[in-house]
């Protein structure tokens, strides 16, 4: 698994320490083990998890600004856990409403010794942030409109950003943004080992 991860990283400009690579592999091992009982992800093959969960998450790291982030609807910790591993100077709140996912995340926190993540069980609209976040990250929301309506209370008013990890660029959704939100930038992403479209949509307050 470590060799597979290193071969994927070799095709990118992402440089990680041995400890970070080992933590990423250990996370995939845990995800694979817990998945059998908890059904945390539809991806069953650990080799595919390295591509579809690890590489797919950490590729956005260079585009994040700030040090306090919240991953809403994090599920089993995606993209928050991989990002926390490669970005140890930042703090990630991992928010999910399902108890089994949060239990898994607490075990990840314990076994990997991640001091910069905080798993929280809550519905996003009921979560009270203190203080506000530099970035709101989402990989699983149905639409940008849902993300913005449910998460509008989470980012800092001026400097805060919404980071939506998308597949095919949702052009229709981008034409229907609320007036108080503007498109900052769209970044096409290349995922090592994955022949599918990926985009990072960054939004900010007007």
Which residues are documented as binding site for S-adenosyl-L-methionine? 73, 78, 124-125, 139
Which tokens is 200 given? 């990072």
> Hey, how many other C-beta atoms are within 10 angstroms of the C-beta on 131?
7
Coil vs helix vs strand at 45:
coil
Distance, CA of 9 to CA of 22 (rounded, Å): 13
DSSP secondary-structure letter at 61? G
Sheet of strand 117-121: strand arrangement: 117-121, 91-96, 68-72, 135-138, 161-166, 198-205, 181-189
The binding site comprises 73, 78, 124-125, 139
Which tokens is 148 given? 């913005």
Report which secondary-structure segment, H or E, holds 119.
strand 117-121
Which tokens is 154 given? 């989470």
């Amino acid at each position: 698994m470590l060799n597979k991860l290193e071969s994927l990283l070799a095709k990118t400009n992402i440089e990680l320490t041995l400890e970070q690579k080992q933590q990423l592999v250990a996370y995939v091992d845990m995800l694979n083990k817990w998945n059998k009982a908890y059904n945390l992800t539809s991806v069953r093959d650990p080799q595919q998890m390295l591509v579809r969960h690890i590489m797919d998450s950490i590729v956005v790291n260079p585009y994040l600004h700030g040090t306090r982030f919240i991953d809403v609807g994090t599920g089993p910790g995606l993209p928050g856990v991989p990002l926390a591993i490669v970005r140890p100077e930042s703090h990630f709140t991992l928010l999910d409403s399902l108890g089994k996912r949060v239990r898994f995340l607490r075990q990840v926190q314990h076994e990997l010794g991640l001091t910069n993540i905080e798993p929280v069980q809550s519905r996003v609209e009921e979560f009270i942030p203190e203080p506000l976040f530099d970035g709101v990250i989402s990989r699983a929301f149905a639409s940008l409109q849902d993300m913005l309506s449910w998460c509008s209370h989470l980012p800092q008013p001026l400097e805060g950003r919404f980071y939506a990890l998308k597949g095919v660029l949702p052009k229709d959704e981008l034409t229907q943004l609320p007036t108080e939100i503007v498109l900052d930038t769209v970044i096409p992403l290349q995922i090592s080992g994955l022949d599918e479209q990926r985009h990072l949509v960054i939004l900010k307050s007007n």
